């Protein structure tokens, strides 16, 4: 798990004691917040979710022991350690029965307290990790791929059909659409699943080393070849070789791979003999193959050999309904990775995420959620946590901005075209994607609305009736 600074919240009505605990918390490597009353504690908890709470029993405006059940209900994974100057067995029993993690008497022994806090935070971290991974595992729909949109279901069906064969597969799709995940799914659904899945990212390997990386070399084959190396093609024997970004490979390497695809034989650099291997090849590119062939970046014969079956991975903006699933999945995963308890998304934030275009596709969404979880220790993902470029790109943002023109002279004014697009999106949303209903709301004919939908590239499948 990534090492994020754990947050400790101490609730006590003595400011001097809070200062002292603050001094120790920082010394122990914790971020620390304090509250001097129950009211202030809830205010803090509206904004952050700590990893551990130190709670005094006698507070100005409430009894700490009585607060524990509500705290446990709202933050089930956050351990609560009671601190009190009234060291009675009854108080301790009552606190623990109510769900407190531990009970400490004043005077506070900071050595003991540190051990207990560290243990409690570790406990919290493990609980969050289990919860996150369980949630993420539950959301996986098809061999690690997530998405229930009709387009993704078509992809799953195609993968299931092609996987049992040994046919070469070419995966096409924009960057971040999950080409490696799809290759993995094909491998997992095939009879080769017990063999190796070897992924080769061609652009990451220097041109002068790619032949050796793919086919291997013998000791002494060239300067620097101090020992024998088994290449990726041989490593994948009995399994699957995934060649990513094939258009970035130079022509010579493409020719050698073409020969390998035809003969299924590898000859290590510097070797006298060759070896037959049983490898299934899956390749991928984020470029248009036809265009790359025209530009002499992709050999036509290599392309035809690889594209026995082509699978198009769909850009996220066209996967209607999948953004929400993916957001929840990545939220679970990030919460587990970084020990955070952020488990829900507010509807406004989800609206913004749903209406964004996602040029970086699923990977962009994953990185965004990671960043939000790292930088916000809160229970809920809110619209304010989203970066301005995403908030401002959502059609709703223009509509909201439009409604404030009269109040703020500093608002940037969207173009008529942006406003028109935003209104159409809003009307379609309000009419559940029914074009006739949306056209009626907008005062347009259906044909005009269809023309505008096409013009603005609103590519979702809209109901005609």
Partner 1 sequence: MTNREDTYESESVKEHRRKWVKLKAKYLYALPEEIAHIELSLSKKDYAPAKKCAHRIKGTSATFGFGEISRSAARLEQLAASHCEQEYSGAVNEIMRLVEHEIRLLDFQRSPDLDRNERDANG
DSSP bridge partners of 84: 105
Q: Are 112 and 104 in contact (CB under 8 A)?
A: yes
Q: Are strands 280-285 and 169-172 parallel, antiparallel or unpaired?
A: parallel
Which of helix, strand or coil describes residue 216? strand
CB of 85 to partner 1, least distance (A): 3
As a dihedral over the C-alpha atoms of residue 129, residue 138, residue 45, residue 101, rounded to 10 degrees, the angle is -50
Q: Which is nearer to partner 1, 61 or 278 (CB)?
A: 61
Count CB atoms within 10 A of the CB of residue 155.
24
Q: Any contact of residue 13 with partner 1 (CB under 8 A)?
A: yes
User: Torsions phi, psi of 34, nearest 5?
Assistant: -130, 155
Which of 40, 75, 99, 106 touches partner 1 (CB under 8 A)?
Answer: 106
Which of 3, 73, 89, 107 touches partner 1 (CB under 8 A)?
Answer: 107
Q: Which is nearer to partner 1, 106 or 452 (CB)?
A: 106
Q: Which is nearer to partner 1, 56 or 245 (CB)?
A: 56
CB of 28 to partner 1, least distance (A): 11
CB of 123 to partner 1, least distance (A): 25
Which of 27, 153, 294, 455 touches partner 1 (CB under 8 A)?
Answer: 27
Q: Which is nearer to partner 1, 106 or 380 (CB)?
A: 106
- 8-state DSSP, 222: S
Q: Which is nearer to partner 1, 8 or 253 (CB)?
A: 8
| Residue 224 burial (C-beta neighbours within 10 Å; 0-12, 13-18, 19+) | exposed
CB of 107 to partner 1, least distance (A): 4
Q: Any contact of residue 112 with partner 1 (CB under 8 A)?
A: no
Q: How far apart are the first and last CA of the chain?
A: 50
Which of 20, 199, 350, 458 touches partner 1 (CB under 8 A)?
Answer: 20
Site size with partner 1, rule: CB under 8 A: 16
Residues 39-68 that bind partner 1 (CB under 8 A): 58, 60
Determine the Cα–Cα distance for residues 193 and 180; give it in Å rounded to an integer.
15
CB of 35 to partner 1, least distance (A): 15
As a dihedral over the C-alpha atoms of residue 241, residue 242, residue 243, residue 245, rounded to 10 degrees, the angle is 180
CB of 26 to partner 1, least distance (A): 10
Count CB atoms within 10 A of the CB of residue 161.
11
Q: Which is nearer to partner 1, 108 or 444 (CB)?
A: 108
- Tokens representing 246 are 């094939």
Instruction: Compute CA distances 171 → 243, 318, 413, 459, whole Å.
Output: 10, 17, 41, 21
| Residue 131 burial (C-beta neighbours within 10 Å; 0-12, 13-18, 19+) | middle
Q: Any contact of residue 84 with partner 1 (CB under 8 A)?
A: yes
Q: Any contact of residue 16 with partner 1 (CB under 8 A)?
A: yes
Q: Any contact of residue 263 with partner 1 (CB under 8 A)?
A: no
User: Where does this chain touch partner 1 (CB under 8 A) — which range of 103-111, 288-296, 321-329, 425-433?
Assistant: 103-111
Interface with partner 1 by CB under 8 A: which residues?
Answer: 13-14, 16-17, 19-20, 23, 27, 58, 60, 84-86, 106-108
């Amino acid at each position: 798990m990534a090492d994020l600074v754990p947050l400790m919240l101490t609730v006590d009505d003595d400011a001097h004691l809070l200062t002292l605990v603050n001094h120790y918390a920082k010394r122990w490597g914790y971020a620390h917040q304090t509250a001097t009353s129950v009211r202030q504690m809830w205010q803090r908890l509206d904004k952050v979710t700590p990893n551990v709470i130190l709670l005094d029993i006698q507070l100005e405006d409430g009894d700490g022991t009585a607060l524990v059940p509500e705290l446990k209900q709202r933050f089930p994974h956050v351990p609560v350690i009671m601190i009190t100057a009234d060291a009675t067995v009854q108080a301790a029993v009552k606190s623990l029965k109510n769900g407190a993690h531990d009970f400490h008497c004043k005077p506070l022994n900071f050595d003991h307290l540190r051990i207990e806090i560290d243990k409690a935070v570790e406990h919290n971290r493990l609980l969050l990790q289990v919860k996150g991974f369980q949630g993420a595992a539950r959301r996986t729909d098809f061999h690690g791929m997530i998405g229930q949109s009709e387009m993704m279901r078509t992809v799953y069906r195609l993968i299931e059909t092609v996987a049992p064969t040994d046919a070469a597969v070419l995966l096409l799709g924009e960057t971040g659409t999950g080409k490696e995940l799809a290759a993995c799914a094909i491998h997992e659904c095939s009879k080769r699943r017990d063999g190796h899945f070897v992924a080769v990212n061609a652009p990451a390997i220097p041109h002068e080393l790619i032949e050796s990386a793919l086919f291997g070399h013998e000791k002494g084959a060239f300067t620097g070849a101090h020992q024998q190396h088994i290449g990726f093609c041989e490593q994948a024997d009995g399994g699957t070789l995934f060649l990513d970004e094939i258009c970035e490979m130079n022509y010579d390497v493409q020719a050698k791979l073409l020969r390998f695809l035809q003969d299924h034989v590898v000859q290590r650099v510097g070797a006298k003999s060759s070896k037959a291997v049983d490898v299934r090849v899956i390749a991928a590119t984020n470029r248009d193959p036809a265009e790359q062939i025209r530009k002499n970046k992709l050999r036509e014969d290599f392309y035809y050999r690889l594209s026995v079956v082509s699978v198009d991975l769909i850009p996220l903006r066209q996967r209607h309904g999948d953004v929400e699933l993916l957001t929840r999945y990545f939220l679970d995963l990030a919460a587990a990775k970084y020990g955070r308890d952020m488990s829900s998304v507010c509807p406004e934030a989800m609206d913004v995420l749903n209406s964004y275009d996602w040029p970086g596709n699923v990977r962009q969404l994953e990185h965004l959620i990671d960043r939000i979880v790292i930088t916000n220790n809160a229970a809920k993902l809110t619209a304010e946590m989203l970066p301005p470029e995403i908030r401002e790109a959502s059609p709703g943002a223009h509509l909201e901005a439009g409604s404030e023109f009269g109040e703020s002279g500093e608002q940037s004014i969207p173009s008529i075209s942006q406003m028109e697009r935003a209104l159409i999106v809003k009307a379609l949303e309000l009419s559940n994607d029914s074009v006739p209903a949306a056209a009626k709301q907008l005062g347009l004919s259906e044909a005009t609305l269809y023309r505008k939908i096409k013009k603005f590239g609103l590519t979702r499948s809209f109901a005609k009736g």
